[in-house]
Amino acid sequence: MMAAEAQQPHFDKARRRAFMADGTAYDWSTHLGYFETFEPIVDFLHAACYAFSSAAAVSPTRPRTGLIHEPAWFRSG
């Protein structure tokens, strides 16, 4: 569906162009294939959910308190 949009006439004539995706490899390969000149933006909500799910997977005994209680995850880099 994204590829079909990219083929529309004048699609690439927009003054400001952005490509927002959630971080999956498929989305970024689409960015490179069809929207390479668009500014890439990561959907922070999905990226944060992926980080939380990954942390929960490697620490199954730790209570799932939610990201709001884990600000150190984002400060630690």
Q: Give the separation between CA 9 and CA 13, rounded to whole angstroms.
A: 9
pTM of the model: 0.57
Q: What pLDDT does 2 receive?
A: 74
- Residue 49 exposure: Cα atoms within 13 Å on the Cβ side: 8
Q: What pLDDT does 40 receive?
A: 92
pLDDT at 39 over 90: yes
